[in-house]
Structure 1
Amino acid sequence: MNSIYIRELKHYSKAEILEIIDEKAFEKLTSYAIIDKDEDSYQFKFVGVIIVDDMVINCYPKYIPNTDNIKDDFKQIISVIKKYKSLNEEIDYSNENLEDISFNLLSMMVFFLEDYFENGIYTNIQNILESNGNGEIDWNRTVNYTNPIIKNNKPYYTELQTRYKINDLFDYFHLLHEYIITDCSRRLESAGLIDLFDLTPVELSHHEQDDFGEITEILEKLTKELNVEFNSHKQKLLKSMHAYLAGKNSFSNDNYLTVFGTNTYHVVWEDVCRRVFGDKLNKSLREILNDSNSYTKLIDVIKKPEWHLKEGTFKVDTFRPDLITFWNGYFVILDAKYYKLKVTEKLEKQPGLSDVTKQYLYELAYREFIEENNFKGVKNAFLMPSYENQVENKGYVEIGILHDLGLENIQVIMLPAGEMNQLYLENRKMSISRLFLIS
């Protein structure tokens, strides 16, 4: 397959896109909101891998300025998306229609290989019962089904019932699982994606799909096995095998679309920042304050709006910061913003007024808590990704009427995305001291 790299949100004319893919594929990508129209141009609103027709399209994040080191950069991005999905998304293909299954085939292939490396092949264990075998003695069957010799009022059993377990390597579902894993490996390898997903090629089976029967017969057997299997992981595997085989033929058509990635990469960036800086929002006050016995979570300190109506009083959801943490006696409010600031004669592509206002209000919402717990002060900042190697404080944004209330202005901090991603992948933290100087 041919492979190209495209930057997220870069503007293209329709003619430029149709040089890459045909009209039918263009319409399909548009219907899934992967390609979005912006006035007279089009943008790929997606980060990840798209396979359409015989083309592999690698969409990389907008903050990466060029393709000088794109293979390494993009491989790291795919690893970050994989980790985000594993931490935040439960795999369930049981309720999807065939078109959605086809759309998610690439994700399913990656799942099958990663699950195999972690958990091995689907197994059915057989219990073998014998008389006087080498397995474990089944005393319940021995006592109930054999006659002992009684001597001095003690029973002596000359025939012992034994049991042992074997893994049936010729089990239908065991062999089918091996076939699917091998098929996934071959498909990923033919698309040049094995290394990108940091996987190893696997050859477990010499079978073809037809060896297991007609597709309707295979799917029926999987459904029957699912009805008698109660192990949660094996249930997930059976559902995934069913979905993969049900949608596989769509992948083989002349025109198909399958993806791995996200059209909401800002959510991934938020998760990266939360974990790298140690978000405390969902921790109880008992966990984070030495002198508190309260099980109230930090997020619940923010009071909810109350609607006082004739029918009664109603509390509704309130605003929620991206992450809160403590550092060196300071209460730190951080908001991950997936923006790419553009500064020429004017400022463009910056967070909007509502974003800035909310950031001030987060401090105001916690003001009583901050005073009661004797914090030295507040540090408040937007966190944006950059392609540089260093943390850079770009300045701050101020709304005078809110700053006059004694609220901290919002620092604008550019973070080295490559380093942040690596810390995220390695479950390590970045020190808050790199963001702020105590003034």
Structure 2
Amino acid sequence: MGITSEFVREQKRYSKNEIRKVFRLNDDEANKFIKNLKAYGVLKTVKNNSEQKELSDLVDEDFEVSDSETGNDDCLYVFTYVGVITTGSKIIKSYPKYMLHNDKPLEEMKQILKVLERYGSKQEMVHVFNGDGDNRSFNLLAVILYLLNDYHEYGIYNNSEDIIEINGDGEILWDKTINESFALISNNRPYYMELYTEKTVNDEMDFIKRLHECILTECNIQMKNSGLLELFDMVPVNLSEETLGDLGGRDYILYRIHAELNVQFNTRKQILLKTLYAYVNHERTLEDNDSISMYGTNNFNLVWENVCAEVFDNKLNTELGRLDLPVKLGSRYDPKQKLIEVIEKPKWCGWDESGKVFIKTAKETLIPDLISIQDNNGEKQFIIFDAKYYNIQLEKEKELRSQPGIGDITKQYLYQLAYKQFITMHNIGTVKNCFLIPTEKNHIIKKGVAMLDMLSALGLEEIQIRLLPATYMYKHYLTRTMVRIEELEL
């Protein structure tokens, strides 16, 4: 059986028959395929009706219609994942829901995978397993990607040895030379005929080095055969002609890795050794691996929030004393206090047994996605952004659909209210509210505004809607550069 590698769109509604056709499955294979994906939370089931077919976003009440309750033909299936999933010989390339006009977005997917890599780079561990309990499976794809990325960043595993030579090319060991060799004295100056030198030599035949090269080469072959080497935009790796069998049986290789772990105290090398151990212990190919392997996320909305926060210079976690304000920071504020901490926390009042009032302060409060403070025509502008991962339909001749909810709108107004005193005290000229929504278009779209008259009457700003070209945003995110807020024309 050959490998089948196909694109699907996140949150698009697929019938069982469509899934069969896309991945070239018979009925029994399709049932197993669907059951496996649902078990790991990357495929959801919704009712097969006209209303669902028109939607592009899911809400909680959509989830988990049982196939057995409705029958396969009465269900639609929704991928709730962005990234790459492998199950046996099937490779699923799930791209974000806002991409509506390109069903094979190879170049866009390459960029998205780099965004996912950067987003997940803060974690210093490898997700070796997916799921838990009966649904726990070895995440071979994540392990392979970690090993290849680690190699491209740090190179091959090596053990080095410091060698002392006489008159070698390395660094001169003056203490040893002075103490252990003879000197000729001329004009009261010592001259040494033999200099002790030290150099570091890598052990080219080190077992772990050979094992690392062998596994990397094997990983490269698997990625190439699966068509994933191009998708992840990786340079081919061909370092060894040896196989794992040439290095010994599995138990022996695991013993050697364990022995190396006992004497290795470098954190990066420890993580690498543990990952090599996991790979050898679960040795199999992507094609033969019936369990699920995944690289991506069920929560691409969090990725979008992180992208927006970085490219628009989020100030929420900036200390007040470091903000560029029009006037000196007010005395009521601590310079070490962060902007996010300015928002008031709810207070709960109670009565004790004697009837005396006591007050408790809650730990949680409103948390905006991001706030920027910028110069605008000679005055400071306080901008409250909310990154929204929606496919909003706001067209004159069409029904309003897939828009942020009432809670999103009221919170956006409340964010401005929460900062009103801070803004007034520091002579900040204007305030802007804005939803940031991704689009596959290549330019910024001024989509409209959202408002509640009763809150606008309090002098609060209506919420502007901007559709931002995702590829443009990702480019800045990956290069760690900022987008000029003026481009939004708020």
Fold conserved (TM > 0.5)? yes
CA–CA distance in 1 between the matches of 2:141 and 2:133?
Answer: 14
Would the alpha carbon gap of residues 155 and 148 (structure 1) be closer, same or farther in structure 2, given more than 3 Å must change? farther
Q: Deviations over 1:328-358 (max 9, x none)?
A: 2110000000000134643121111111111
The one-letter code of the counterpart of 1:342 is Q
How far does residue 394 in structure 1 lie from its aligned partner after superposition? 1.7
Q: Provide runs of 4+ in structure 1 moved above 6 Å.
A: 94-101, 147-159
Q: Distance in 1 between matches of 2:386 and 2:192?
A: 73
2:393 corresponds to:
342
Opposite residue 267 of structure 1, the aligned amino acid is L
Aligned residue in 2 for 1:260: 295
Q: Tell me the secondary structure at the aligned position of residue 300 of structure 1.
A: helix
**Alignment-derived partner of residue 247 in structure 1:** 282
State whether structure 2 residue 95 is matched by structure 1 residue 60.
Answer: yes
After superposition, the C-alpha distances for 1:299-344 in whole angstroms (9 at most, x for unaligned) are 1111222344558734412221110001321100000000001346
Cα 1:103–1:420 change in 2 (3 A) is: farther
Q: Work out whether 1:432 is the aligned partner of 2:485.
A: yes
Q: How far has the Cα of 1:66 moved from its partner?
A: 2.4
2:225 is aligned to 190
Is residue 2:302 matched to residue 1:270?
Answer: no
Alignment-derived partner of residue 201 in structure 2: 166
Matched residue SS, 1:333: strand
* CA shift digits 1:131-184 (9 cap, x unpaired): 66554444555677x486899999998876543210111111111111121111
Residue identity opposite 2:339 in structure 1: L
Matched, 1:320 2:328: no
Counterparts of 1:244 and 1:63, CA distance in 2: 36
Contact 2:157 2:208 in 1 (8 A): yes
Instruction: Give the Cα separation in 1 of the matches to 2:270 and 2:133.
Output: 20
3-state DSSP of counterpart to 2:237: coil
Q: Deviations over 1:179-206 (max 9, x none)?
A: 1211111111111111211111111011
> Residues of 1 paired with 2:81 and 2:141: CA distance?
15
- Cα distance in 2 between the residues matched to 1:171 and 1:394: 61
Distance 1:103 1:278, change over 3 A: farther
Structure 1 residues 156 and 428: alpha-carbon distance in aligned structure 2, compared to 1, 3 A threshold: closer
Paired residue for 2:449? 396
Give me the TM-score of the superposition, normalised by structure 2.
0.81
Out of 213-222 and 88-97, give the one that drifted further: 88-97
Distance 1:415 1:156, change over 3 A: closer
Q: After the TM superposition, which residues 92-107 of structure 1 pair with which residues of structure 2 at under 5 Å, given as runs?
A: 92-93=126-127, 103-107=138-142
Structure 1 stretch 21-30 or stretch 248-257: which is displaced more? Answer: 248-257
Aligned mates of 1:64, 1:95 — CA distance in 2: 30
Which deviates further from its counterpart, 64-73 or 156-165?
156-165
Query: Which of 164, 173, 177 is the equivalent residue of 1:129?
Result: 164
- Flag structure 1 segments of 5+ consecutive residues without an equivalent: none
Give the CA deviation at 1:251: 4.0
Aligned-pair RMSD on alpha carbons? 2.9
Deviation at 1:102, TM superposition (A): 5.4
Conserved in 1, the CA contact under 8 Å of 2:126 and 2:143?
no
1:373 corresponds, among 426, 438, 452, to 426
In structure 2, the residue matched to 1:110 is: 145
Instruction: Indicate how the Cα distance of structure 1 residues 250 and 110 shifts in structure 2: closer, same or farther if over 3 A, else same.
Output: closer
CA contact (8 A) 2:10 2:94 kept: yes
Q: Among residues 123, 143, 147, which one is paired with 1:89 in the alignment?
A: 123
- How many angstroms apart in 2 are the aligned matches of 1:241 and 1:308? 56
Residue pair 2:7, 2:103 contacting (<8 A) in 1 also: no
Distance 1:270 1:32 in 2: 24
* Paired residue type of 2:426: N
Contact 2:40 2:135 in 1 (8 A): no
Query: 1:31 — aligned with what?
Result: 39
CA contact (8 A) 1:212 1:218 kept: yes
Are the counterparts in 1 of residues 161 and 202 from structure 2 also a CA contact under 8 Å? yes
Residues 3, 150 of structure 1: alpha-carbon distance in 2 compared, 3 angstrom cutoff: closer
Shift of 1:79: 2.0
> How much has 1:18 moved relative to structure 2?
4.2
Q: Which amino acid aligns with 1:303?
A: E
Aligned residues, how many? Answer: 435
Identity between Structure 1 and Structure 2 (%)? 40
Deviation of the 1:208 alpha carbon: 0.6
Alignment of 1:293-304 (within 5 A): 294-304=335-345
- Post-superposition CA distance 1:262-283 (Å, at most 9, x none): 1111111111111111111111
TM-score normalised by structure 1 residue count = 0.90
With 120-129 and 427-436 compared, the bigger mean Cα shift is at: 427-436
- CA contact under 8 A between 2:371 and 2:384: conserved in structure 1? yes
**CA shift for structure 1 position 385:** 0.9
CA distance in 2, matches of 1:155, 1:98: 73
Single out whichever of 132-141 and 301-310 deviates more from structure 2: 132-141
Matched to 1:24, the amino acid is K
Assess if the C-alpha contact under 8 Å between 2:126 and 2:146 holds in 1: no
Q: Mark the CA change 1:168 to 1:362 in structure 2 (over 3 Å): closer, same or farther.
A: same
Note closer, same or farther for the CA distance 1:162–1:101 as it changes in structure 2 (3 Å cut).
farther
- Residue 223 of structure 1 deviates from its aligned partner by 2.2
Matches of 2:138 and 2:463 in 1, distance apart? 41
User: What runs of 5+ residues in structure 2 fail to find an aligned partner?
Assistant: 48-74, 353-357
Contact 1:336 1:384 survives alignment (8 Å): yes
CA distance in 2: counterparts of 1:395 and 1:261, whole angstroms = 32
CA shift digits 1:368-427 (9 cap, x unpaired): 111111111210011111122221122111122222221111112111122222222222
The residue type equivalent to 2:37 in the other structure is L
